[in-house]
Amino acid sequence: MNTASATVPSRLADIVGPSNVVADPAQLAAFAIDDKKPSVSVSPQLIAEIVEIVKFARKEKLAIIATGARTKLGIGLPPRQYDIALNMTRLDRLVSYDPGDLTLSAEAGIPLHKLSAILGEHHQFLPLAAPYFDRTTIGGTIASGVDGPLRQLYGTARDYLLGMEFVTGEGVVAKSGGRVVKNVTGYDIHKVMIGALGTLGVITRINFKTFPRLLSSRAFVSTFQTLERACGMRNRVSQSHLAPVTMEIFSPGVANLFSTETASRIAPNSIPENILGGSRWIFTSGFAGNPNALARYENDLRKMAEECGAVDAAVLEGPQLASAFALKREFIPLALSFSSAATILKISVLPRQIAEALTAATREAESRHLPWVVMARGVGMIYFAILAGESSEATKQQVVQASDNILLACAALGGNATIPWCPTAWKNTLRVWGPPRADFAQMLKLKKAFDPDAILSPGRFVGGI
Amino acid sequence: MDSHAINDLKKLLGADAVLHRPEELLLYEYDGSVEVARPNCVVFPRHTKEVVGIVQIANRYQIPMIGRGAGTGLSGGALARQGGVLVVFSRMNRILEIDVENQCAVVQPGVVNADLSVAVAQTGLHFAPDPSSQKASTIGGNVSENSGGPHTLAYGVTTNHVHSLEAVLPTGELVRLGSPALDSPGYDLPGLFVGSEGTLALVTEITVKLTRLPETVKTLLAIFDTVDDATETVVDITARGITPAACEMLDGWTIRAVEAYVHAGFPVDCAAVLLLEVDGLREAAEQHAEEVADVCRLHHAREVRVARDARERDLLWKGRKNAFGAVGRLSPTYYVQDGVIPRTKLPQTLRRINEIGEKYGFEIGNIFHAGDGNLHPIILFDAREEKQFQRAVASADEIIGFCIEMGGSITGEHGVGMEKDRLMPLLFTEDDMNLMRRVRDAYNPVGLLNPGKIFPDTKGCGEIHVRPLPVAGASRA
């Protein structure tokens, strides 16, 4: 922070009132990102206040990072500069909700679970089954770009986001899209804000399409001796007319992750031993519908599993299903809390390349005796967690080599790989955002249009944007 | 236009790929909208390298350039508003790759929408976006406009089906945006470029998602004696959380026009029909069809017919998709609007449209995507009378104004283009538009690519946009 630093809290207090400004270093520890603490945190309640804060920061050359429930701030590179934590949790109003039209507009700081509860009263939901579900805000969920198990059927936020309002790096309130379910008026700017880690603007309001609650649902689970067979099952289902709600493959050893104390809090109802235990790969797929459709799914999936060489199969429903779903949704937090130096690679490949990508990844980890666990979504998103137990230099070297090689292998397959989660101390060595990207120059142009002085979340994004 | 530029283009592309005589350009001065603008020159590149070359020549001579597919657009997106070189992609019409297992395809921009679905039909897949123009319109055009169609209700619009793009920026840079694998790291540039109405780049290659064809399709025709009953049915279906694959409405006037032309089997004495489709697993689709039929009957549907086979279904859809052609036979000119409203506001909006028609003395037909609240009022008028044209525009503006009042939007799938730029301030503040202009300028710095589109001219604030006289009959929606 520059020389004006001493007066910053009082200047911010002029905008939002002294009770909404925190300058006490002990309290600011809660806003640290990669061990970097801000000099001040400020909690606006109005968009007009955010405008003033951003304009002030720009004038004083201070860096702002918007925060919500602060569950996913570890994603990306350490901030280059971090002066003001813009705590968005007081911006938590439901602006409008038209259940008859299945659309809503909410402020960014509203917790996802709170929004879900409101929708639930109208038998509707948002398919954003994001990790840290019980705490995360919708703004944080969108800005961090995390996905969830429901993307198999519903896609990601980009598929049901209708519009957005945000404050640019110049302190200008702007919006794109609208509130109706179909709209091509103006550029779809809201799409580039998804997963941008707040580097383009401070998201203030988000408009969504909502969905009717699913009829009763169940999950089919089967186990396989090999990864190839589990992937074979995935392929078999994709070629059929079945349209499952979720579809994942888990590696052997996921039971360890799912049987910790944290896991039992998230998922109080245990999953059958024959499914979770042992050394087998697990295929799981949720489905929903009327009783006839449920019977059809169950019947077809059992048959397919048999054809694909499944060892075991089961159907989960009721509380067990809820627990299994929560475990899937919370895979990332569970992996991060499992070991102190957990490093999670996010890999995307074409669906038919899952086996190949995973074979390469597991080989790299195994040959270095690094413990690992995997969740692969049927659409081709793989979360490969290296569960390093300690952050020693030797371990770091092993993880760096393994992940470098995995990144290369994925690039060779034409896929993408990044390392969104890893120990802070390793971030300068690991290729957090993967190999350099050919479209990086085009991203820089966008950043300059939104935030010419680079005061928003500087340094955290791809290529150090 | 500089004759040196024409010579350079001929040298690059060959003489058979460059049109510049006035009589040759006539064909390219209009699209599916009521707008007219003549280019100085039309070129037909065969591959990406030629597109890069065209852009370089355009830059050398500072000539505007405008991408164009089949010219079926309804907002003037593919017209040379400020003259220049029209880059027509009809010769870049190859399907480069079909990956059945991964359910994706790589196509050149000139591939006709329906041709891709035909090419993959045997594998049980299809390209889901289905604009009514799909037998003519190109995927490149669909990408530019982020086209919708009847089945976008359940399947989403074009942007939901595009993985990545290869494109030539107006500066001549060849770029690849996004990746065939999901969640390409960094900003979602394909998400921004799809639907940018040809103002950010000339797209030269598109990787699209292919969707499995449903196991069962049930097509229903619900017949109503009042428009209100039909619109209330749509409100109720939506509120009950039933999402049909398609939910289209045709009012009585449109039905009579369609029947005279297509003979699709629509009853000519009714006030409105809903063309509803549900699809999916057999077990689910059958129940959904019953639920939908029940809701129709609850709202006094006179009759609910279910198409017995593919032939009957195709006939019903033929009636829907050829409706604009049918209307073209009745009036020398018509003006199609594309407003969107929240689905809960359908009944009062249709009533208002009717009142507006009476006020201005126009016949206004309605045939539209009721399920997603995307209206297509068709205003019939005679363009040969200047006063009628002014009144047609005034009535259209009043309809759009009402849509916005209802919390809606000015365009659901046709784009802003040069038709609705002056309406943008009704939805967006100057700050909103300035940021969008800045995004445009980031990729299109000199403004050579598709100038004069989407954003109103900032200079003449409040200036009345003077249009050229429209040409007869737009074709599709």
User: Are A98 and A70 within one domain?
Assistant: yes
Same domain membership, residue A344 and residue A280? no
Q: Which residues of A touch B189 (CB under 8 A)?
A: 192, 439, 442-443, 446
B461 pLDDT higher than 80: no
Q: Which of B47, B68, B88 is the last residue of a domain?
A: B88
d(CA B378, CA B255): 13
Residue B472 has pLDDT above 50, yes or no: no
CA distance B149 to B147: 7
A67 and A186 inside one domain: yes
Q: Which long-range contacts (CB under 8 A, 24 or more apart) does B111-120 make?
A: B111/B138, B111/B139, B111/B140, B112/B70, B112/B136, B112/B137, B112/B138, B112/B139, B113/B137, B113/B138, B113/B139, B113/B142, B113/B147, B116/B208, B119/B95, B120/B210
Does the pLDDT value for residue A244 go beyond 80? yes
**One-letter identity of residue A16:** V
Q: Among A329, A359, A390, where does a domain finish? A: A329
Q: What is the pLDDT of residues B234-258, one digit of tens each?
A: 999 999 888 899 999 999 999 999 9
Verify that A208 and A225 share a domain, yes or no. Answer: no
Q: Which of B266-270, B327-331, B342-346 shows the lowest per-residue confidence on average (mean pLDDT)?
A: B327-331
Alpha-carbon distances of A337 from A146, A301, B150, B182, rounded to whole Å: 18, 33, 47, 27
**Residue B190 maps to a domain:** no
| Same domain, yes or no: B360 and B408 | yes
| Residues B226 and B300 both lie in one domain | yes
Mean per-residue pLDDT, B463-470: 39
Least CB–CB distance from B196: residue in A187, A293, A346: A187
What does the pLDDT read at residue A300? Answer: 98
Give the pLDDT score at A231. Answer: 98
For residues B319 and B258, membership in a common domain is answered with yes
Structural domain boundaries enclosing A376: 338-426
Distance from the A125 Cα atom to the nearest Cα atom in chain B, whole angstroms: 11
Measured between beta carbons, which residues in chain B are less than 8 angstroms from residue A191? 159, 188, 191-192
Indicate which CATH number applies to the domain containing B296.
Answer: 3.30.70.2190
> Inter-chain contact A191–B280, Cβ cutoff 8 Å?
no
> In terms of pLDDT, which residue wins out, B245 or A2?
B245
Measured in angstroms, the CA of B385 and the nearest CA of chain A are apart by 30
How high is the pLDDT of residue B466?
Answer: 37
H or E element in which residue B7 lies: helix B3-13
Residue finishing a domain among A296, A329, A362: A329
Q: How confident is the model at residue A4 (pLDDT cuts 50, 70, 90)?
A: low
Q: What is the pLDDT of residue B34?
A: 82
Same domain (yes/no): A42, A123: yes
Residues A161 and A230 grouped into a single domain: no
Residue B270 is assigned to a structural domain of this protein: yes
Residues B246 and B260 in one domain: yes
pLDDT-derived band of residue A349, with 50, 70 and 90 as boundaries? very high
Asked if residue B171 has pLDDT above 90, the reply is yes
Question: Residue A186: which of B191, B428, B443 has the nearest Cβ?
Answer: B428
Do A293 and B212 count as a contact with CB atoms less than 8 A apart? no
Residue A47 touches chain B, beta carbons under 8 Å = no
Pair (B308, B374) in one structural domain: no
DSSP 8-state secondary structure symbol assigned to residue A203: E
Determine whether the interchain pair A187/B436 forms a contact, defined as Cβ–Cβ distance below 8 Å.
yes
Q: Which residue has the tokens 């901030």?
A: A79
- What is the widest separation between alpha-carbon atoms in chain A? 71
Same-domain check for residues B222 and B321:
yes
Structure tokens at A223: 């186990």
Q: What is the DSSP string of B21-38?
A: SHHHHGGGSB-SSS-B--
Least confident of A48-62, B51-65, B74-88, B307-321: B307-321
CB of A433 within 8 A of CB of A77?
yes
Contact B427, B367 (CB under 8 A): no
* pLDDT computed for residue A2 by the predictor: 47
**Among candidate residues B326, B343, B376, the one where a domain is terminated:** B326
Find the CATH number of the domain harbouring A375.
3.30.70.2740
Beta pairing partners, B336: B378
Is the CB of residue A299 less than 8 Å away from at least one CB of chain B?
no
B440 lies in some domain: no
Asked whether residue B345 falls in the same domain as residue B290, the answer is: no
- pLDDT tens by residue, A274-298: 777 678 999 999 999 999 999 999 9
Number of domains in chain A: 3
Q: Are the C-beta atoms of residues A221 and A128 closer than 8 Å to each other?
A: no
How many CB atoms neighbour CB B1 within 10 A? Answer: 16
Q: What is the ipTM of this complex?
A: 0.97
pLDDT of residue B217: 96
**How far lies B200's CA from each of B12, B31, B143, B148, B386, in Å?**
23, 20, 12, 20, 35
Last residue within a domain, chosen from A329, A354, A369: A329
% of chain A at pLDDT higher than 70: 99
Number of domains in chain B: 3
pLDDT > 90: percent of chain B: 84
CB contact under 8 A, B176 and A123: no
Determine, for residues B156 and A159 on separate chains, whether the beta-carbon distance falls below 8 Å: yes
Tell me phi and psi for residue A57, to 5 degrees.
Answer: -60, -40
Interface mutation target, options B158, B187, B369, B374, chain A, most CBs of A under 10 Å: B187
Q: Which of A175, A183, A348 sits opposite B340 (nearest CB)?
A: A183
Q: Is the pLDDT of residue A1 over 60?
A: no
Query: What pairs with residue B219 in β-bridges?
Result: B277
Residues B84 and B59 in one domain: yes
- My answer on whether B321 and B338 are in the same domain is no
For chain B, say whether A142 makes contact (Cβ under 8 Å).
no
Please report the pLDDT score of residue B220 as a whole number: 97
Q: Distance from B413 to chain A by nearest Cα, in Å?
A: 6
B335 lies in a domain? yes
Here the CATH number for the domain that contains residue B381 is 3.30.70.2740
Judgement on whether residues A126 and A242 belong to the same structural domain of the protein:
no
Distance from CA of A1 to the nearest CA of B (A): 28
Tokens of B241: 């959380």
Task: Please report, for the domain that includes residue A303, its CATH number.
Answer: 3.30.70.2190
Q: Is residue B456 part of a domain?
A: no
The residue from B373, B399, B414 where one domain ends is B414
Q: Are residues A460 and A404 in the same domain?
A: no
Asked if residue A447 and residue A408 are part of one domain, the reply reads no
* A25 class by beta-carbon count within 10 Å (0-12 exposed, 13-18 middle, 19+ buried): exposed
A198 touches chain B (CB under 8 A): no
| For A214, nearest residue in chain B (alpha carbons) | B241
| Whether residue B233 sits in one domain with residue B306 | yes
Helix intervals (H) in B251-281: 252-262
Do A165 and A304 fall into the same domain?
Answer: no
| B301 and B372 part of one domain | no
Domain match, B335 and B321 both: no
pLDDT digits (tens, 9 = 90+) for A49-87: 999 999 999 999 999 999 999 999 999 999 999 999 999
Using DSSP, state whether A202 is helix, strand or coil: strand
pLDDT higher than 50, residue B103: yes
What is the pTM assigned to this prediction? Answer: 0.96
Residue (of B316, B320, B331, B318) closest to B378 by Cα position: B331
Contacts A–B by Cβ distance under 8 A: 245
At B94, the pLDDT band (50, 70, 90 cuts) reads very high
The verdict on residue B122 lying in a domain is no
Q: What is the pLDDT of residue B159?
A: 98
Same domain, A309 and A372: no
pLDDT at B426 over 90: yes
Q: Is residue A208 located within the same domain as residue A323?
A: no
Contacts of A461 in chain B (CB under 8 A): 186
Residue range(s) defining the domain that contains residue B70: 3-88
Of the residues B409, B430, B434, B444, the best mutation for testing chain A's interface (the one with the most A CB atoms within 10 Å of its CB) is B409
Tokens matching residue A344 = 């999670």
Domain of B68, CATH number, reads 3.30.43.10
Tokens for A37? 């603490």
CA distance B405 to B412: 16
Q: Is the pLDDT of residue B468 over 50?
A: no
Average pLDDT over residues A405-431: 97
Q: Is the pLDDT confidence value at B476 over 50?
A: no
